[in-house]
Structure 1
Amino acid sequence: MNIVAYATLLLNSCMVQLKQNHPNEKIIGDITKVDAKDIPDFDILCAGFPCQAFSAAGKREGFADTRGTLFFDVERILKTKKPKGFILENVEGLVNHDKGRTLQVILSHLEDIGYKVSYKVINSKNFGVPQERKRIYITGTFSKKISLDDFPLERKKLSDILEKGKPTEDSKFIRLLLSKFRIDELYGKSIKDKRGGKSNIHSWDLEIKGKTTKEERKLLDKILTERRKKKWAEIYNIDWMDGMPLTEEMIASFYPSKKLTSLLNGLVKKGYIVYEHPKKKIVENGVSYREYDTSLPKGYNIVAGKLSFEINKILDPNDIAPTLVAMDMQKLYVVDDGGLRKFTLREGLRLFGYPENFKFDINEKNGFDLLGNTVVVPVIKAVCKRLISSIR
């Protein structure tokens, strides 16, 4: 089969890694600027158009985002070159984007060229990779639809790919964590002031903003849970949002205490909660945003969000990793010999199924950025095998 390599994401760090591992492949340039007629004939097109336009982690603007229109360059090349088959990869959010209409546009455009198209959301955790990573794979040939079901099941856990005896980190925050929790108590814990139940460590558990009593922590946990309920928005007569400020009267309905006023004032002073107006939803020119509604009574709300510390989550070696994205990979930690450290780059490669001989001579930041945007090798390999066998 003929192999032709083009690229759109022309990051220097990415190009260096490509050349290191595939020195004989030519990097032609930006595919959006290439005339399809100038591309040599080839048998299979492999592409992944940028996921931010469809991802739940972004604004999900789809084709309204110029990055989302890269699909039409894929279509342009398929129309002109008509290769025997193709494989496309994107985030799971593409399935339901714009109530499924975006995916239907993509499928219909591919079918109009003459391809028999199949698609399926596949989770990498079933392919010997200890990572929860769901991606949609779209394949097509001129002869028949490709089955994307019943792949052989292979499971691994993090401990299968983690190295041992690597240097651990020492910082004020890590020392604080280890002073409050045993190392085994940290397995699988996220560090953020958001919902998550027992799987979360909150700022008040660590007493980041000041000492907290057992009763204060209990009250904060209750507010964190209750503020999500839609009944409070109905009482305020505003559109619901995930995290409503609650008046003292509202809080008293689920946390009756003679000391409630004192508890709330103390937590405001320490900075664990804020006293604020609820936010109303405003829509202008099709764009929605929220601003404080000063006509409504103030309430108490958690000072929420991921904390500005070097750790977002400590992974359980007996479990698998969550979906790894570029912005979070440097804030995921593992336990090693009683201490805490980040993934090594080699471990990062294993989480995406790269072979041990894959060269990755790159600094940590750029390396994690590339890994967070890469594909899972065993999944691509399995899908490609089926595609190739169907067109031979």
Structure 2
Amino acid sequence: MKFLDLFAGIGGFRLGMEQAGHECVGYVEWDKFARLSYQEIHNTKGEWTAHDITTVRASDIPRANIWCFGFPCQDISVAGKQKGFTGNRSSLFFTVTRLIRDLEEENRPEFLLIENVKNLLSINGGWDFAKLQIELDEIGYDCEWDVLNSKEVVPQNRERVFIVGHFRGKRTRKVFPIERENRSTSETNEIVRLFNGRQEGTYGSQDILSPDGISTALNTMSGGGREPKIAVMGNINPSGKGINGNVYSSEGISPTINTNKGEGAKIAIREATKKGYSEATVGDSVNISQPNSKTRRGRVGKQCANTLETGLNQGVVVPVITPDRMNKRQNGRRFKENGDPAFTLNTQDRHGIYDGLRIRKLTPRECWRLQGFPDWAFDKAQEVNSNSQLYKQAGNSVTVPVIYEIAKRFKFN
């Protein structure tokens, strides 16, 4: 099907739609830097385009089966001023619906694909989302929606609401809910018992649970052999002893993880929780904006990125050996390995002992990867934009694989 790309940004909608076999017939984007990236990434030669949607007339727009738009979220996001549809940016939603009103019914798109932040569902007590549904109903669209998290397809925790409008009378097929294929038992929120202690006349503490199900809640035990057991099958150490060499049965419970079991070094990241901090290990992301804030929570993403924003706000925990200077300055210099003699002391360089970890910033390329863009697309955008713009563009974009999962479900009955 043919689609129109409104509030196009760098073309996250477009890339996902084209991967599903749809064809773009035009795009609208006002940010000059985003347009540069868009035009470098996509083959836009000969396509209809406009810079400002408020100046577009319905008669100018090419015919399309689907209109895609993630209208501005600044007035809706919890990070903004919460003006909702009374704000100048997010009210542009009604600019799009005005264009549809001005079209003859036979020229209106069969589908609308709309994206925004999750807070759209609840801002102003839910009345703004009600207004959105009323507006879509008045221009002839039945709508369905779902909140999808990018972490299902990329390592980024990014919840967004997606709305699909179906033009009444065109017999379009439902899109939601979207579920991963081959969903495992553990994702059905069920406890799978291989051995049920209560049914066998013993105790629930004797249950053997399948690793494909979720765990039962731990409770206090009164002893006497009723506490949970760990089945040790053998030991791979030459001496046959030592907890580091123990081999445990997959049908029993897991031993407690400790510093001798490969958990590794950690960094304490300040958070406004009862504990006061969260532990970050190698591969975790850390939100590095306002590091000394006493009110922030959720700063550590366990093996995945936090939601990308338009500015650089994240780092990743990586191993490092020198405590001060991360990059070598002289030919032949290298990081010392454990047990090596130290460099010659001098009056300039600072020396120290390996503390195991540091936090580095995510690169623009990594941010684009977290939104599902291929490296070739980033390389093209990098030729025409600065790093600050590339960070901003990644944060403003939609996640390409999420769009693809939706786009491949667009069909007529």
- Normalised-by-shorter TM-score class: 0.5 to 0.7
SS in 2 for 1:372: helix
CA distance in 2, matches of 1:368, 1:151: 30
Q: CA deviation at 1:319?
A: 2.0
- Report the equivalent of 2:307: 323
- Contact preservation (8 Å) 1:116, 1:144: no
CA distance in 1, matches of 2:122, 2:313: 29
Check 1:154–1:13 CA distance in 2 against 1; reply closer, same or farther (3 A cut). farther
Q: CA deviation at 1:31?
A: 1.1
Q: How does 1:183-198 map to 2 (within 5 A)?
A: 184-186=265-267, 190-191=269-270, 194-195=272-273, 197-198=275-276
CA distance in 2, matches of 1:85, 1:190: 45
Q: CA deviation at 1:4?
A: 2.9
For 1:4, give the aligned amino acid. V
For 2:390, give the aligned amino acid. G
1:54 aligns with 2:76: yes
CA distance in 2, matches of 1:120, 1:74: 21
For 2:376, give the aligned amino acid. N
- Report the equivalent of 2:259: none
User: Which of 50, 53, 58 does residue 28 from structure 1 map onto?
Assistant: 50
Q: Give the superposed CA RMSD.
A: 2.8
Structure 2: give runs of 5+ residues left out of the alignment: 3-23, 184-262, 280-289, 321-356
CA distance in 2, matches of 1:353, 1:55: 22
Check 1:314–1:99 CA distance in 2 against 1; reply closer, same or farther (3 A cut). closer
CA distance in 2, matches of 1:95, 1:313: 22
CA distance in 2, matches of 1:380, 1:364: 25
- Report the equivalent of 2:217: none
SS in 2 for 1:20: helix
- Report the equivalent of 2:367: 348
CA distance in 1, matches of 2:359, 2:32: 31
- Contact preservation (8 Å) 2:364, 2:390: yes
Check 1:138–1:345 CA distance in 2 against 1; reply closer, same or farther (3 A cut). same
- Report the equivalent of 2:116: 90
1:131 aligns with 2:152: no
- Report the equivalent of 1:270: none
Q: CA deviation at 1:93?
A: 0.3
CA distance in 2, matches of 1:314, 1:153: 31
For 2:39, give the aligned amino acid. K
Q: CA deviation at 1:17?
A: 0.6
Structure 1: give runs of 5+ residues left out of the alignment: 156-181, 202-304
1:72 aligns with 2:94: yes
Check 1:140–1:184 CA distance in 2 against 1; reply closer, same or farther (3 A cut). same
- Contact preservation (8 Å) 1:116, 1:145: no
TM-score for both structures, normalised by structure 1? 0.58
- Contact preservation (8 Å) 2:69, 2:114: yes
CA distance in 1, matches of 2:308, 2:181: 21
- Report the equivalent of 1:199: 277
User: Which of 129, 138, 159 does residue 103 from structure 1 map onto?
Assistant: 129
For 1:138, give the aligned amino acid. I
- Contact preservation (8 Å) 1:315, 1:332: no
1:43 aligns with 2:121: no
For 1:369, give the aligned amino acid. K
For 1:6, give the aligned amino acid. Y
- Radius of gyration: which is bigger? 2
- Contact preservation (8 Å) 1:122, 1:137: yes
User: Which of 299, 317, 320 does residue 334 from structure 1 map onto?
Assistant: 317
CA distance in 2, matches of 1:374, 1:133: 11
CA distance in 2, matches of 1:314, 1:94: 23
- Report the equivalent of 1:250: none
CA distance in 2, matches of 1:197, 1:74: 47
Q: CA deviation at 1:313?
A: 9.1
For 1:184, give the aligned amino acid. A
SS in 2 for 1:375: coil
- Contact preservation (8 Å) 2:156, 2:305: yes
Check 1:199–1:69 CA distance in 2 against 1; reply closer, same or farther (3 A cut). same
CA distance in 2, matches of 1:136, 1:150: 12
Q: CA deviation at 1:198?
A: 4.6
For 2:117, give the aligned amino acid. V
Check 1:138–1:322 CA distance in 2 against 1; reply closer, same or farther (3 A cut). same
- Report the equivalent of 1:233: none
Q: CA deviation at 1:50?
A: 0.7
1:6 aligns with 2:27: yes
Equivalenced residue count is 251
Instruction: Judging by fraction of residues, say which structure has more helix.
Output: 1
Instruction: Provide, for residues 316-348 of structure 1, a one-character-per-residue CA deviation record: whole Å limited to 9, x for no partner.
Output: 6x5221111123x34433315554321122211
Instruction: Provide, for residues 215-249 of structure 1, a one-character-per-residue CA deviation record: whole Å limited to 9, x for no partner.
Output: xxxxxxxxxxxxxxxxxxxxxxxxxxxxxxxxxxx
TM-score for both structures, normalised by structure 2? 0.55
SS in 1 for 2:28: coil
- Contact preservation (8 Å) 2:118, 2:161: yes
- Report the equivalent of 1:360: 381
Q: CA deviation at 1:22?
A: 1.0
- Contact preservation (8 Å) 1:117, 1:145: no
Q: How does 1:203-282 map to 2 (within 5 A)?
A: none
Check 1:322–1:154 CA distance in 2 against 1; reply closer, same or farther (3 A cut). farther
For 1:375, give the aligned amino acid. V
- Contact preservation (8 Å) 2:150, 2:159: yes
SS in 2 for 1:386: coil
User: Which of 297, 304, 307 does residue 292 from structure 2 map onto?
Assistant: 307
CA distance in 1, matches of 2:358, 2:264: 8
Check 1:101–1:53 CA distance in 2 against 1; reply closer, same or farther (3 A cut). same
